[in-house]
Amino acid sequence: MPETTTRPAPDLPPLPAASVFARSDPASAAFAALDLGTNNCRLLIAAPTGSGFRVVDSFSRIVRLGEGLAQSGRLADGAMDRAATALRACADKLARRPVRRFEAVATEACRRATNGRSFLSRITAETGLHLRIISAREEAELAMESCAPLMEPKDRRALLFDIGGGSTEIAWIRVPEGAHYGASPELIGYLSLPLGVVTLAERAGQDCFTERGFCEVVAEVADHLAHFDRVHCIGQEIRRGGVRLMGTSGTVTTLAGVAMALPRYKRPLVDGKTLDCEAADTALGDLFALGREGLAQHPCVGPDRVEFVLPGCAVYAAIRRVWPTERITVADRGLREGMLTRMMRADRCASRRRAGR
């Protein structure tokens, strides 16, 4: 069942608090954030600037950690080995570039798997990396943190969705008056659906290439979203105006790349771009019409993501069905950027305290 603010998730047993890499160096100007998801392992190393941060190094690899999880309830040996290989590569990068602070998190696959914590203990033993399993709420909060700079003064609310590998997170956000001058947006509701591109691809991936199968997934997801909508009166707020729809995931960035007719995907052209929803909807139709072979050859998709694009598009289509808006803001950013923002802000606050200000 989906998780919402009206039914809190069960408490998870605490993990060790340490999440700092062994070669952390207080003298370094760089910070690092690692996100181990159901489908991807991603590392971002960045140095703070006056307006945010500058990326120094990065790593991203498809590991499919959640492969088979929905059926077995466990992380498979092959999936763990793939993730371990990627995490060793991340550890090697960090060993060559000590950072001021480092945070590493694991999400839905490790939350759900009965052997998720034992796998992370193995990773600590093999690499020295300590990964913390975060709740669905914290996942939504980190996505909100990373996307908050894309909001504008006219926004009263924001509806942010993140279509992940193992789950889809929906964040309903209040933008306080003056938020763009220092006050932080507030998460007033969230929904975590155990439906992501990997879980849907394994369960209904082949069907998503047919019109009937695609529409069945859209209807299933829309049913879950409709309950969340009723609880928070989101549709009513959208009709009042001042609500920004934002999407952060490979699905929505792919739709943006197709809508913009990019010859190949370029993050600087997509991140922060606001599209007419009709253009994004047309891009969805174009992707569906390509079929498996056409998707594999498309420069914004490629063979590694063929199985995941249409399941993600079905989730997007359900969001559009329940919450029709005129425009959507596309964010090529997520948990890592949210973690970096938090770490840098905490470091600045600590520096001011030490200086007696």
* Average pLDDT rounded to a whole number, residues 107-128: 96
Q: Where are the domains of the chain?
A: 3-136, 143-335
* Average pLDDT rounded to a whole number, residues 339-347: 93
Residue 356 in this model has a pLDDT that exceeds 80: no
Q: What is the pLDDT of residue 4?
A: 52
**Tens of pLDDT along 271-297?**
999 999 999 999 999 999 999 899 999
Quickly state the pLDDT bin for 302 (edges 50, 70, 90): confident
On the question of a common fold for 3-136 and 143-335, the answer reads yes
Residue 22 in this model has a pLDDT that exceeds 80: no
> How far does Cα 221 stand from its chain's mean position?
18
Mean pLDDT value across the chain: 89
**Tens of pLDDT along 177-200?**
755 545 688 999 999 999 999 999
Quickly state the pLDDT bin for 51 (edges 50, 70, 90): confident
* Average pLDDT rounded to a whole number, residues 336-354: 89
**Tens of pLDDT along 229-285?**
999 999 999 999 999 999 998 999 999 999 999 988 889 999 999 999 999 999 999
* Average pLDDT rounded to a whole number, residues 153-172: 94
> How far does Cα 81 stand from its chain's mean position?
23
Quickly state the pLDDT bin for 13 (edges 50, 70, 90): very low
The CATH number of the structural domain formed by 3-136 is 3.30.420.40
- CATH level 3 topology of 143-335: Nucleotidyltransferase; domain 5 (3.30.420)
Q: What is the pLDDT of residue 65?
A: 96
Region of poorest pLDDT, from 135-139, 176-180, 189-193, 309-313: 176-180
